[in-house]
Amino acid sequence: MEIDKDEIVRLTEEYGGQWGINHTRRILHLVSLIGQAAEYDAEVVWVAAHLHDWGAYWRWASPGVGHAVRSAEVAEEFLRERKYPYASTDLVLECIRSHHTVEPTRRLEAILLSDADGLDFLGAVGVLRDFSKSPRDLRSGFNAARKRSEKVPQSLCLQRSKELASRGSLR
């Protein structure tokens, strides 16, 4: 069964706001850059990119439950209700569950999503996000941005992702 992409975009924007939909768009652009020569299921990555943070949005967030775990729970219910094919659902859920995981043995779709998600936080958007969390404590924002710039490149799996991060192409 074909998934209603308009519905997913609408709900991502409704629940994640401009941040959610724009983060998703940036991730998909980054996937197109780092996955250029690779063969992967683009629809699975597209669906996973839209659903990967739903568990962090106010409607579904659950205190004490990591957003990747919660997002996978929400995505599973959402996709099953819409009778999305099981094999595709399984891969979407793997992508979502592992989007903050450093595990090079994952399937390519999961690696593409996690690398793109990490790269998105290396750029100006990530720095601004860190500073916006504590606008009156610039030192805290600076320390968070510096920590992220040191940690994220170490979590990247694909050579193309590492090249983009090391060249500062996204900063």
**For residues 106, 78, 41 and 9, what is the CA-based torsion angle, rounded to 10 degrees?**
-120
Q: Say what the pLDDT of residue 170 is.
A: 43
- Torsion sign across C-alpha atoms 139, 140, 144, 150: positive
> Would you say 45 and 112 are in contact if contact means Cβ atoms under 8 Å apart?
yes
Closest by CA to 54, choosing from 12, 23, 25, 18, is 12
Q: Say what the pLDDT of residue 169 is.
A: 44
Q: Say what the pLDDT of residue 141 is.
A: 80
Q: Say what the pLDDT of residue 138 is.
A: 84
Query: 16-37 in b/e burial notation, b at 16+ Cβ within 10 A?
Result: beeebbebbebbbebbeebbee
Q: Say what the pLDDT of residue 94 is.
A: 97
- Averaged over successive runs of 10 residues, the pLDDT of the chain (171 residues) comes to 89 95 96 95 97 94 91 96 94 95 90 95 80 81 82 90 76 40
- Confidence (pTM): 0.89
What is each CA distance from 16 to 22, 24, 59, 80, in whole angstroms? 9, 10, 9, 21
Residue position matching structure tokens 């998105």: 120
